Amino acid sequence: KLSSDSQCVQTSCPYCGVGCGVDIKVEQGQAVKLSGTPEHPANFGRLCVKGTNLLATNHHQGRLLHPVIHGERASWDLAIDTVAARFSEIIKKHGPDAVAFYGSGQLLTEDYYVANKLMKGYIGSANIDTNSRLCMSSAVSGYKRAFGEDLVPCSYQDLENTDLILLIGSNAAWTHPVLFQRMEKAKSVNPRLQIFAIDPRRTASAELADCHLPIKPGSDAALFNGLLCFLADNQGLDQAYVDNFTNNFAACLELAKPWTLTRTAAYCGISEALLTRLYRAFIGNKRVISFYSMGINQSSSGVDKCNAIINCHLASGKIGKAGSGPFSITGQPNAMGGREVGGLSSLLAAHMDIDNAKHRDLVQTFWQSPTIAGSPGYSATELFDKMAEGKVKAVWIMATNPAVSLPDRAKVEQALTACDFVVVSDCVAGNDTLAFADIKLPATAWSEKNGTVTNSERRISRQRGLLKPPGEALDDWQIITRMAKAMGFKQGFDYRGPAEIFDEHARLTAFNNNGERALDLSGLTGLTPQEYDRLKPVQWPVNAQYPQGCARVLSDGKFFTGNGKANFIEIVPAAPELACSEEYPFSLNSGRLRDQWHTMTRTGKANILTEHTKAPEVTLNPQDAKSLDVTEGDLLKISNNSGTAYLQAKLSDAVAAKQLFVPIHWNREFASSANINRLFAAIVDPISGQPEFKQAPVRLEKV
C-alpha cells in the first residue's frame, strides 16, 4: 500500500537470511525512520548495522528507471515484445534448453514462483537456476539425502535453549549478526552455554567463543567422522534412536571408524586435547546445535560435510528436540523461499523433484500447463559454461550480478559475450553484469515490493512496499507474467497481485500432499488480499495439525524417505580439489565483511557502511608478511591460473601462516581489480553444484 500521510509499515530486512522484521515510519511518501520490529520472532526489535542503515542504502541515485534496448530508452511494450519474440524464436529453432533464467535469493517467493512456472511448465526447460546455488545448495542436498526432504529442523529459539553451539564455517558475528546477538544474550543468561567455533580463521565469532578450533581448510568432514567414531567408542550413541528412526548406521560407522582421535587431530591440524574437548562437550551436553554456513556449503565436498554433521546428530539422537539439531543458515533473505517454489534447476515447486515422474505429473496437473521439464537443467556454473559454448543462446538474469559473484570471472565474461541475447532485470542502472546486457529492464527495489520471504528457520514473513517505485520500474512478478503473456501463454499468468500468486503456491503445497511432504501451507490457502497483507510471520508447515505454524520439525521421528526413517550417509572425507604447491603456496579463503552485502551495489551506497573497511584488503599472517618483506597497507598481487587480483596487505595472526582471507564484495565501481572470484576456478560439489569458494591455491607477491 502506498503511503501519503504518516504511517508505520512493517516489513523485512533484505540483507541476510536472518530475516529481521523492521518498522518503517513513512511520511508523505518518504521513509523517515526505521527500527527493529519488537514482536518479530526473528529479531525481537534487534538490528545489526546493515539493517540499522537500511534507509541510507535506499535512495534513487543510480536506479534503472526505464527499459533500455541496446543503449536506447524503450517503452515497456517494445521491451517485453522484443524479449518474448527473441526467446520464442530461439526456442523454435534450437529447443527450450537453448534459453535460460538466472535468478536470485533477493527475489520474493511470488517472483520466484512465476519464473519457475514459466520456465518449467510453459517453456518446458529446467534451465532456471539462481545465485542461491552459490550459497546453500549443499545444505539442500544434505538435508534431502538424510531426511528425504529439504528440511531445516531447528528454530532460532533453539539457540537460546541449548547448552552447546558449534559454529562451523560460520562467522555469524558478521554474517548473521542478530542471531549472534541472540547467542550472546543466551550465554549471559545461561553461563553453562558454551560456544565452539570451528574455523581455520580466528573470526570475530571465534574471538567471542569459549573455544576456537582452527582446523586446516576443508578438513570438516574428517572432524565429524572422528566425532561419530568417538561417540561410538565413548557411550555417546542413542542406540534406541538409531534403531527406531534411522537407516544405514552400521555402514556409515564402518567408514568413520578409522578416524581415531590421533588420526583426526593430525588431519585437521589441531591438538588431540582440543579435539577431545570438543568431542566431550558434544557427548556431555544433552542439547547441541550445529550452526553451519558457507564454510561448509561452499566446497567441492560440501554435501558430504553437511551429512557428516547430520550423521552425528542422528547417532546421538540430538535432533527434533528443543535446543538440538543440525541448523544450516542461509545467506540471502529469500534463498529459502526460492527452495520452496523450486528455484533451482534440480527442483520442482513445493519441494517436489524434477526427476520424479509422479511429482512432474502432479505439478503439471495442478498448473494445467502445456508441458513440464523432464529432467534437471543446468546449475549456475554449468549454465554459464553452456552460454560460453553457444548452447544456451538467450539468458534472462534477474536481480543478481554474476560477473562478480560467480567463480572464474574470465569464463563468465566470455559466456556473457558469447550468448546471443542477454536480458538483465535489476533495480540498478549499472553493474558488472549489466554492462553485457542487450536489454535492461527496470525492476522495483526492496522498499517498493510486496510479497513474502522465508528466513533460515522456515519463517514466512511479509515484505511490504512502502514507497512509490521510481520511473517505470515494475515488480519482477509483473515483468515475468507480461513476458509469459507476450510469449503466447495467455492462461496461467493472469494474476491481479502477489496475494493470488501466494495462494496458488500455498495450494500447490497441499495438492495431493497426503503428508508426503513437510512443506505444507494448506493453512494459508484462500487468504484474501487483506488477510495476505496482514499475514504475521509464521513457520511452515502451516496446516490442520499446526494451524499456527510449527517451530520444530522431525520431533515425531517421522522422515520423508521411502521407509520414513532418516538416512545415515557414508562419508569419505575429501581434501579441497586443488592443493597448494610450490608455485601456489597460499590457500585463499573468501567471505563477507561485517558491513557489506554481496557485490556492494546497494550497501556501497551508504558512506557509513563503507567506513568499516575502506579499501580492499587481503589478510595475511605476520610471519608470511615478514618473509615477503610486506608491511601493512602494501599493495599485493594475488594470482593463479584463473586470474589476478590486487589488494592491500592487512597483517593479522587471525589467519594461519600460508593462508589468506579476502572479502567477496568488490565490484567494478569500487575496485574492479580487487574482485576476488576471478581467482576461484569453477570447481563444484558433484551433487549440489555449489562452487568451492573457501580454498584456492594462489601465489602472493608484493607489487
Among 9, 16, 312, 681, binds ligand SF4 (CB under 6 A): 16
Contact 96, 372 (CB under 8 A): no
CB closer to ligand SF4 out of 43 and 155: 43
- For the CB of residue 50, give the shortest distance to ligand SF4 in the complex, in Å: 4
Rounded Cα distance between 162 and 157, Å, is 9
Window contacting ligand SF4 (CB under 6 A); options: 17-25, 145-153, 526-534, 557-565? 17-25
Contact 522, 546 (CB under 8 A): no
Contact 70, 78 (CB under 8 A): no
- For the CB of residue 299, give the shortest distance to ligand SF4 in the complex, in Å: 23
Report, in angstroms and rounded to the nearest whole number, the Rg of the chain calculated over CA atoms. Answer: 24
606 in contact with ligand SF4 (CB under 6 A): no
CB closer to ligand SF4 out of 47 and 588: 47
Ramachandran bin of 242, using left for φ above 0, alpha for ψ from -120 to 50, beta for the remaining angles: alpha
Window contacting ligand SF4 (CB under 6 A); options: 43-51, 209-217, 334-342, 361-369? 43-51
105 in contact with ligand SF4 (CB under 6 A): no
Among 3, 10, 13, 41, binds ligand SF4 (CB under 6 A): 13
Q: Provide the strand spans (E) within 495-616.
A: 538-539, 566-567, 586-591
Q: Is 455 helix (H, G, I), strand (E, B) or coil?
A: coil
Contact 684, 576 (CB under 8 A): no
Cis peptide before 541 (omega within 30 of 0): yes
399 in contact with ligand SF4 (CB under 6 A): no
647 in contact with ligand SF4 (CB under 6 A): no
291 in contact with ligand SF4 (CB under 6 A): no
Binders of ligand SF4 among 336-355, rule CB under 6 A? none
19 in contact with ligand SF4 (CB under 6 A): yes
CB closer to ligand SF4 out of 48 and 664: 48
Residue showing the smallest CB distance to ligand SF4 in the complex = 51
Q: How many residues sit close enough to ligand SF4 to count as binding (CB under 6 A)?
A: 14
What mask of x and - would describe binding to ligand SF4 in positions 46 to 85, judged by CB under 6 A? -xx-xx----------------------------------
Query: 646 is written with which cell numbers?
Result: 590486487
- For the CB of residue 523, give the shortest distance to ligand SF4 in the complex, in Å: 25
177 in contact with ligand SF4 (CB under 6 A): yes
Q: Which residues pair with 452 in a beta bridge?
A: 462
CB closer to ligand SF4 out of 19 and 342: 19
Contact 542, 277 (CB under 8 A): no
CB closer to ligand SF4 out of 19 and 218: 19
178 in contact with ligand SF4 (CB under 6 A): yes
Give the CA angle between residues 54, 592, 429 to the nearest 5°: 55
- For the CB of residue 177, give the shortest distance to ligand SF4 in the complex, in Å: 5
Q: Is the dihedral of CA 427, 431, 433, 439 positive or negative?
A: positive
CB closer to ligand SF4 out of 51 and 451: 51
18 in contact with ligand SF4 (CB under 6 A): yes
What mask of x and - would describe binding to ligand SF4 in positions 129 to 168, judged by CB under 6 A? ----------------------------------------
* Side-chain half-sphere CA neighbours of 312 within 13 A: 31
Helix axes 272-284, 302-316, angle to 10 degrees: 50
253 in contact with ligand SF4 (CB under 6 A): no
CB closer to ligand SF4 out of 20 and 242: 20
User: For residue 6, what are the CA distances in angstroms to 29, 31, 462, 464, 493?
Assistant: 8, 9, 20, 16, 35
- Residue 256 is given by DSSP the state H
Task: Give the type of residue at 318.
Answer: K
Contact 101, 92 (CB under 8 A): no
- For the CB of residue 665, give the shortest distance to ligand SF4 in the complex, in Å: 14
* Side-chain half-sphere CA neighbours of 378 within 13 A: 20
Q: Which residues bind ligand SF4 (CB under 6 A)?
A: 13, 15-16, 18-20, 43, 47-48, 50-51, 176-178
